[in-house]
Each structure stands twice: as C-alpha cells, then as structure tokens.
Amino acid sequence: MPQPIGRSIVRLGYQIPDFNYGGAVAEIFPTVIAQAREAERAGFDTVFLTDHFYQRFGPPHGPTLEAYTALGGLAAATATVKLSTLVTGNTYRNPALLAKMITTLDVMSGGRAVLGLGAGWLELEHKSYGFEFGSVSDRFDRLDEALRIIRPMLQGSRPSLDGTWYRVENAINEPRVRDDLPIMLGGAGEKKTFALAARHADHLSIGCDAVDLPRKLDALRQRCEEIGRDRATLDVSYLAFVAIAETSELAHRTVDEMFATRVKDPARAEQVRASMAGKLFIGDPEEVADQLRDRILRHGVDGLIVNMVANGHEPGVLELAGKALGPLLKP
C-alpha cells in the first residue's frame, strides 16, 4: 500500500483536453506550450494532457498528439508545473515500458512528473490501433497487475512477475531522481476504480456529476476502510468542465458556439450538452468560483482539475481562471 507522501499532489490542475485550435499543424504545439506556460504563471500546479489517439469531442479525425511525446516537449518548455496525463490508458503500453517512460519524463523535468493511469475505455482506439480491448473486468485485472509492476519500478526495486497479462523479470528502471513519483488513478467507479486507488494510488481524480460527489467520496472511504487505509492519506481531486470569461454572457456564448461547431447536428449537440450539464461550470470568474466552492469544494476534495475545452487555449483565459480559483484551495 502507498505510504503518505506528506504533500498535496494536485491542488489546482489544468487539463488540455484536445488540440482542435484551427490554423496550421505547425501552430498546434506552440499553442499547447503557450497554455502550459500561462497555467504556470497563473498559479496552476499541474498540467495534464489526455492520452488518446483520436479526438474525443467532435469528429475523431480531429488533430490529436501522442501524450508522452508532447509531455517531453513541455518538460523543456516549463519550469515549475507538474506534468501528467489524465489519464494514461493502461492497455496502450506495456507497464514496465510505461514505468520507464514516466521516470524518463521525471528526469527530464527535474522531478515534476505524475503518473496518471486508468483502465482504458475507448473501444474505437483499441480496434483501430490493434490493442486488445476485452471486458471491463479484464481491463481492471490488467490494471491491477500493471500497478504491481509499475509501483516497485518507480521506487527503485526490480520486480519480477509471471502474471496472467504481463511478464517481467528483474525489470531495471534507472536513472531516477526520486523514489516517490506519485501515482494518480482517474475514474468514478465506486467498486473497481476506487478499490484499486485505495490499494495502489497516491491520488484519485474523480469525474462525475456534482450531485453524485458526496456518494463517491463515501464509497471511497469505504474502499479505504476495507483494506485498513486512512482515507486522509489518499489525495482526491475533482475534474470539472469549466468555461470562464470576463462576463457571464460571453462565457455562455462561448460554450454555445463550441457545441455548435464541434457537434454540428443540433439535436446531438443538445444531447451531449445535457450529458455534461452536471459537471459543467459556466460564468464570469466570481460565478464559477462560487459554483465550484458550493457544489464541489465544500464536500472535502483536496484539489480541482479544470478542463476548459471551450476557450482555455485563448490567451488570458487561464489567468482569469487562476485568479478566481486559486484562492479557493489550500496551498
């Protein structure tokens, strides 16, 4: 079981959800860098990329960068923010190789990497790229086995495992800059995801409708109690979809335009918007801060991760968000 690391892993995080900015391909990564640097200046402590090969929100053929290659570029372009995925699909990489990749990112960034990990869920990507998808139970069994390889490698041990899904023998992971690189799981599954987080993780990122958060936190407490872990030793953040602008009217208009552009069929756009309504926070900075404080933070999560797909890439928006949300969270 993980030992308490004595610090908050994610207090205020920014997720870069996709790369659909318009313009030339040559402009994509400079826009990613600009967001990471603005987030750093605005007081965000962690920058996340999604680990997908297809665009998820909008047509799948939209521009999508491979996460770990891009994170390596961000390591050289930033100075203080932690770097992670929200989250890595376990099914996409051999776990020993993944441990080596995240440790290399940690070396490149001077100890700023966080391993975000999940079971994998997007069947289209698995089918198209030739990765085995399997059942939900299969994917969580694979994740459990992977974590029994990854955790020791991050800590400097040389694990051997002849498992159902993976086999390693005396797996070496050098160089490393530390033995406590954090592991963050992402998801909202009250049985499988939360049980794995209780057993293996330092941090859990929960994505759910705001109204369901108290039940999720209670379920997480139960999973921790079942194995004798103090829930206070497991950091928890909430993933929120946020649109902030200088005025509430502009923020709502930005979201309307995003749905109209990304999901061109009006009926389908309304369906997608309705499915996100319970975790979507829109308004001017004061309004969004009030919404997140009253609907999320009062339940006792340790941090926030904001996905600002509508306008986070626009210069100045992350500065607004950082000023509004930073004071809500304990340093």
* pLDDT value at residue 262: 84
Handedness of CA 43, 313, 126, 130 (dihedral sign): negative
Three-state secondary structure along the chain? Answer: CCCCCCCCCCCEEEEECCCCCCCCHHHHHHHHHHHHHHHHHCCCCEEEECCCCCCCCCCCCCCCCCHHHHHHHHHHHCCCCEEEECCEEHHHCCHHHHHHHHHHHHHHHCCCECEEEECCCCHHHHHHHCCCCCCHHHHHHHHHHHHHHHHHHHCCCCCCEECCCCEECCCCCCCCCCCCCCEEEECCCCCHHHHHHHHHCCEEEECCCHHHHHHHHHHHHHHHHHCCCCHHHCEEEEEEEEEECCCHHHHHHHHHHHHHHHCCCHHHHHHHHHHHHHHEEEECHHHHHHHHHHHCHHHCCCEEEEECCCCCCCCCHHHHHHHHHHHHCCC
* pLDDT value at residue 260: 87
Q: Where are the domains of the chain?
A: 12-328
* pLDDT value at residue 263: 82
pTM of the predicted protein model: 0.95
* pLDDT value at residue 6: 46
- The residues that bridge with 14 in the sheet, in sequence order, are 47, 306
* pLDDT value at residue 2: 65
pLDDT < 50: residue spans in the chain: 4, 6
CATH code for the domain defined by 12-328: 3.20.20.30
